[in-house]
Structure 1
Amino acid sequence: MDNTNVKLPNFLIFGVQKAGTTSVYKYLKQHPDVYLSPVKEPNFLEKDWDKLAAEGHQFKPKQIATFKQYSNLFKDVTNETAVGEISPNYLFHHETSIEQIKRYVPNAKLIAVLRNPVDRAISDYLMHVREAQSNTTLKEQIEYKANKSFIILKGYYYTQVKHYFEAFSKEQVSILLYDDLRKNDQEFMREIYKTIGVDPDFKSDTSQKSQVAQMPKNEGINKLLVQKNPLRSLTASLLKPLLSEEKRQKLRSFLISMNSKSKVDSFNEEKQLLLDLYRDDILKLQDLIGRDLSSWLTL
């Protein structure tokens, strides 16, 4: 690896999915002293891509799978003090991600935002439903696939965070809570700005919130909009000469939103089942990070 004259991240937001990282990305990009990867989740530090390539793995066309591709994300850095990227799955894939972080950006500040794992799992499940990627109900996943479902496994934070604390100094790793982002987003961002060494008094425009939990009104229509199919391909080919890719994506997002309902089921039974799974892990995490997580233990 030759990283001569290459500006790589000096901070990473490495966790967790469905904990406001899209909002944080938007807020961070507003700071004049912060440069963020134009790709929100490059995921390059998630795996040893060189090893996978040597084993013959084939990568997706847009996959950031080489150091050159990764470093190119930061080629436009100028005088920004803080250079970073946000890949929430680095926490879940800690066993491989830690190795790659040590290899490429060993001194980077590491920040994770954790959300009540019960709420996180439900939000993750709803995302999979919207994207037509779930063939089982959340209750079925809890009762029959709890040790295999990524939706559920991602909520066991204790071991994941513990590995980061053991691999890096506690001064290098910061654990923040989604609860604090919801209570006072300006103070939350101030804490991040202090951590990454930029002006903490900068006020981001935090008025726009991201990714409200929704479910499709009609699952058949939703599948037509989100999955590859002949009708979608035909429509795209007809619209391509008329609309730019950005406008086509906006149209698709509008149609998805028109087929979505904000009011979702309460998941009361699932919440209790999830809390039963996570209770011991929450108690251990509470001691590990020195934060009161008692609110996570009540429904």
Structure 2
Amino acid sequence: MGGEPQVDFIIAGVQKGGTTALFDYLRDEPGVALPRVKEVHFFDDEGQDWSRPDYAAYHANWEAPPDGRPRGEATPIYVYWPNSLERIRAYNPAMKLILLLRDPVQRAWSHWRMEYARGAETEPFAWCIREGRRRLLDAEPWGHHREFSYVERGFYGEQVERLFELFPRDQALILKAEDLRGDPGPALAQVRAFVGAPPGPAPAAREVHVGREMDYPSRLTRDDVALLRRLYERDMARLRDLTGIGFD
């Protein structure tokens, strides 16, 4: 339903990794076409009939018909959510996928702060990354959760390995979040070239979607960091073997 693929690239991850900033920079690019909202949440929609997906509803997120410019969107849960990448491949096997990876410990901490600030989380961070992980065993789909996946979303090696099983490696651009901060010009030049947009000037660096300032009941402790580093150690080795990217 909905005709031929119209979307050429997706910023598919990771949450709290700079995807909002990249989307904001791309909004200033006349050479790309973006949807009205940043996160379309089509390929992670479990209410969709995936035997006959309504691609017309997906395409309706773009205001104008295709005009030759590369079309893209940014929904960073896709690389984490089960079956999302498979659904993307079924829609467009030539899809180009962009990942922005952030130190997984800092990502988890930032994720918890976001969920606590908006009221979805009420428990302290230390509990959430220890006993709180059991909440995902009662989730649907099993083992995945949109809000409480502070630790699980940081297993980048596992997610990238799955991505490479589904798409050729030259259809993936993997950057570190810090590549976009401070001096975004080189990273944006890579993104433009990757998606097929014309070259453009380097923008001035700007902070986008900075976390809310408030009194949090937790702080990131040395014990928390040490625990997370141990949990991620094997997966980080896998990521380094796959991409050459590491977080020390």
Shorter chain as normaliser: what TM range?
0.7 to 0.9
Q: Give the aligned partner of residue 167 of structure 2.
A: 168
Residue pair 2:155, 2:232 contacting (<8 A) in 1 also: yes
2:204, 2:114 → 1: CA distance? 23
Partner of 1:22: 20
Amino acid in the other structure paired with 2:9: F
- Specify the alignment match of 2:139 in structure 1: none
Give the equivalent residue in structure 2 for 1:260: none
Structural mapping, 1:74-153, within 5 Å: 74-77=62-65, 79-93=67-81, 95-146=82-133, 148=136, 149-153=148-152
Q: 1:290 to 1:86 in 2, by over 3 A?
A: same
Is residue 11 of structure 1 aligned with residue 14 of structure 2? Answer: no
- In structure 1, the residue matched to 2:48 is 50
Matches within 5 A, 1:219-298: 265-291=219-245, 293=246, 296-297=247-248
Corresponding residue SS for 2:43:
helix
Q: Give the Å deviation of 1:81.
A: 2.0
Aligned twin of 1:40: 38
- Secondary structure of the residue aligned to 2:129 is helix
Percent identical: 28
Structure of greater Rg: 1
C-alpha root-mean-square deviation of aligned residues, in Å?
Answer: 2.4
Counterpart of 1:71 in structure 2 is 59
How far did residue 266 of structure 1 move?
4.6
Quick one: structure 1 residues 138 and 53, their matched pair in 2 at CA, closer, same or farther if it must change by over 3 Å? farther
CA contact 2:44–2:77 (8 Å) conserved in 1: yes
Shift of 1:78: 5.1
Deviation readout 1:113-157 (Å, 9 max, x if unpaired): 111100000000110111011121110012213353411110011
TM-score by length of 2: 0.86
Tell me, yes or no, if the aligned pair for 2:182 and 2:205 is still in contact at 8 Å: no
Q: How far apart are the structure 2 equivalents of 1:270 and 1:51?
A: 41
Contact 2:12–2:99, Cα closer than 8 Å, also in 1: yes
**Shift of residue 218 of structure 1?**
8.7
On the 8 A contact 2:100/2:174 being kept in 1, the answer is yes
- Is contact 1:15–1:87 with CA below 8 Å preserved after alignment? yes
Preserved contact between residue 10 and residue 109 of structure 1 (Cα < 8 Å)? yes
| Kept in 1: contact 2:180–2:187 (CA 8 A) | yes
CA distance in 1 between counterparts of 2:8 and 2:45 reads 19
Q: Which has the higher helix share?
A: 1
Mark the runs of 5 or more structure 1 residues left unpaired by the alignment: 55-64, 220-263
2:239 partner letter? L
CA separation of 1:21/1:206 partners in 2, compared to 1, >3 Å: closer, same or farther? farther
Aligned AA (1:158): G
Q: Conserved in 1, the CA contact under 8 Å of 2:7 and 2:95?
A: yes
Structure 2 residue runs without a partner (length 5+): 137-147
Structure 1's 208 and 88: CA in aligned 2 closer, same or farther, altered over 3 A? same
CA distance, structure 2, for counterparts of residue 171 and residue 90 of structure 1: 19
In the TM superposition, what is the alpha-carbon distance from 1:8 to its structure 2 partner? 1.6
User: How far did 1:284 drift?
Assistant: 1.1
Superposed displacement of residue 53, structure 1: 10
**Corresponding pairs, count:** 236
Residues 11-49 of structure 1: CA distance to partner in whole angstroms, max 9, x if unpaired? 111000001111111100111110011111011012454
Quick check: 1:190 aligned with 2:183? no
